[in-house]
Amino acid sequence: MKISVTVDGERLGAVAGQTVAGLLMSRGRVSWRTTSRTGRPRGLFCGIGVCFDCLVTVNGLSDVRACQRRVADGDVVETGAADDER
């Protein structure tokens, strides 16, 4: 079933049950935030919710693990990526 999710202001089609990380990776995004100290890119690392590399903001709630959060119709996802990283 197709649903609609907004990621960084862009409306995207997604599949019900897909994780946020799955959606981002299906769009070619391998990193969506950077480290605060060194600015190194981060995205999906462990894929099981143990690390903190894939954090995003969903519907205003920060520090959501993209590998664990399944998208829902109407979700608004914000990444920490700069415009040139998208």
Residues 6+ apart with CB under 8 A from 32: 24, 42, 43, 54, 56, 66, 79, 80, 81, 85
Whether pLDDT at 84 is above 80? no
Which pLDDT score, from 0 to 100, does residue 80 have?
84
Predicted confidence (pLDDT) at residue 79 exceeds the cutoff of 50: yes
pTM score of the predicted model: 0.88
User: pLDDT tens, 10-64?
Assistant: 999 999 999 999 999 999 999 999 988 999 999 999 999 999 999 999 999 999 9
